Amino acid sequence: MNDLERHEIPPSVDTTDWNLRVTGTVERPRRFTESDLTSLPLETSTDDFECVEGWVADSLTWRGIRVETIFDRTTPTAESEYALVRATDGDYACSFQLDRLAESILAVELDGKPLSIEHGGPARLIPTDAESDCWESIK
Residue 67 pLDDT:
97
Residues comprising the chain, all counted: 139
Please report whether residue 1 resides in a domain.
Answer: no
Quick one: which of 126, 130, 121, 131 has its CA closest to 16?
121
Please report whether residue 3 resides in a domain.
Answer: no
Count of the separate structural domains present in the chain = 1
Between 3-7, 12-16, 33-37, 91-95, the lowest mean confidence (pLDDT) is in: 3-7
Please report whether residue 39 resides in a domain.
Answer: yes
Please report whether residue 12 resides in a domain.
Answer: no
Omega before residue 122 within 30° of 0, cis:
yes
Q: How far is it between the farthest Cα atoms of the chain? A: 43
Please report whether residue 11 resides in a domain.
Answer: no
Domain that holds residue 110: 19-136
Q: State yes or no: pLDDT of 6 exceeds 60.
A: no
**SS3 state of residue 102:** helix
Q: What average pLDDT does range 47-53 have in this prediction?
A: 81
CATH code, domain carrying 130: 3.90.420.10
